Amino acid sequence: MDEYTLKIEHLSSGFFTERGYVPAVDDVSLTIGKGQVVGVVGESGCGKSMIARSVMGLLKYPGRITGGSIALAGRELTGLTDRQLQPIRGRDMAMIFQEPMTSLNPVVPVGRQMREALLLHEDMSRAAAREEVIRMLSHVGISEPEKRYNAYPHELSGGLRQRVMIAMAMICKPKLLIADEPTTALDVTIEAQILRLIRDLSRETGMSVLLISHNLGVIAQMCDKVYVMYAGRIVEQADALTLFDRCAHPYTRGLMDSVIRLDASPRRLPAIGGVVPNLLRLPAGCAFAPRCPHAGEKCRAERPELDQIGPGHWCRCFEGRRS
């Protein structure tokens, strides 16, 4: 048995488009221990959702994994056919999305959808499966689960749909839950409920969680370890306390600075100037150099490696060691 629930090594995946290869994920390595909650943070287009889809085997043409390995509890997933992945998806790993309506079937009552998912992977009677579904709905905090069992997705509020999707993902007790922006579409009071639910479930069952988010608040509240992504690559990784106490990469610094403080009224917000680079035309050196306040000649000419700068703390920056 491998010590890691998920071990990604040198993963590259991207899109083969008419205009060329788009390297959405470039040489990413990432590990998640049992019961650990690990975050990937970055802005739109940084490749964080591509990692999730690569792990789940959900890349659609023209997207493809081009290198590296993905091991789930010691079992290699790259190279498996869709048919071979099918029994693993849902049972050993499950995914929840920002918009629950994209993963719920609108014409089937939610309870039946969950029962089907359960019967696909477990050998049990329909009546027992129904019981288990109702128990799970109640477990994720849905009141009147017998009544909700027969409800269609559109009859539920956004928060309830999100709970149903989590219940469905949890029904086969997966080793790994991938949550891609699970609360971005929710109101702040509902967000707090859902985040607490995910963390409680992980603690109770020892389930590992890969949490993908653009929100540093959500990351800080949830994660044991954090990976920061920019333009397809990991630029910094550390345990949550280290990252929030002394981040080293200028991009991470920029993200931290743009978090608005609730106890102060500055006249202006610090902002990262410029825009995210086009992945088809990445600069020769560090991808962040055009926006970086500290960039020098070397940064524009050479690509920095991900270097260890402290215990469990890695940073991809020529200047990073100093800060």
Partner 1 sequence: MAEQILLEARGLVKEFPAKGRRKVHAVSDVDLTIRAGETLALVGESGCGKSTLGRTLIGLIPPTAGTVTFQGVDLTALSQRELAPYRRQMQLIFQDPYASLDPRMTVRDIVAEPLVTYGVCPDRAATTQRVRELLDAVGIPEEFLYRYPHQFSGGQRQRIGIARAIALRPRLIVCDEPVSALDVSVQSQILNLLKDLQERFALTYLFISHDLSVVRFMADRVAVMFLGRLCEIGGGADVYAHPLHPYTRFLLEAIPRADPRLRDDSRAILQGEIPSPIDPPAGCRFHTRCPYATDRCRTETPALRPLEDRLVACHRAEEL
Residue numbers of the site for partner 1 (CB under 8 A)? 43-44, 157-160, 187-193, 195-196, 199, 214-221, 223, 240-241, 244, 254-256, 258-263, 265-273, 275-276
With respect to partner 1, which residue has the nearer C-beta, 12 or 49?
49
With respect to partner 1, which residue has the nearer C-beta, 56 or 279?
279
With respect to partner 1, which residue has the nearer C-beta, 77 or 210?
210
Kindly list the distances between the CA atom of residue 316 and the CA atoms of 204, 230, 236, 238, in Å, as whole numbers in the listed order: 35, 10, 6, 12
CB of 251 to partner 1, least distance (A): 9
Separation between Cα atoms, residue 164 and residue 167, nearest integer Å: 5
Kindly list the distances between the CA atom of residue 280 and the CA atoms of 16, 98, 217, 228, 289, in Å, as whole numbers in the listed order: 11, 27, 31, 21, 16
With respect to partner 1, which residue has the nearer C-beta, 145 or 174?
145
CB of 161 to partner 1, least distance (A): 11
User: For 90-106, b where at least 16 C-beta lie within 10 A, e where not — what string?
Assistant: bbbbbbbbbebeebbee
CB of 233 to partner 1, least distance (A): 17
CB of 212 to partner 1, least distance (A): 14
Supply angle C-alpha 184, 205, 131, rounded to 5: 90
With respect to partner 1, which residue has the nearer C-beta, 1 or 271?
271
| Strand extents, DSSP E, 240-306 | none
Q: 244 near 256, Cβ under 8 Å?
A: yes
Interacting residues of 216 by C-beta distance below 8 A, sequence separation 6+: 41, 255, 256, 259
With respect to partner 1, which residue has the nearer C-beta, 79 or 266?
266
| β-bridge partners, 96 | 179
CB of 21 to partner 1, least distance (A): 22
CB of 175 to partner 1, least distance (A): 23
Q: Where are the alpha helices (DSSP H) in 122-187?
A: 126-139, 145-149, 158-170
CB of 79 to partner 1, least distance (A): 34
With respect to partner 1, which residue has the nearer C-beta, 268 or 322?
268
DSSP 84: H
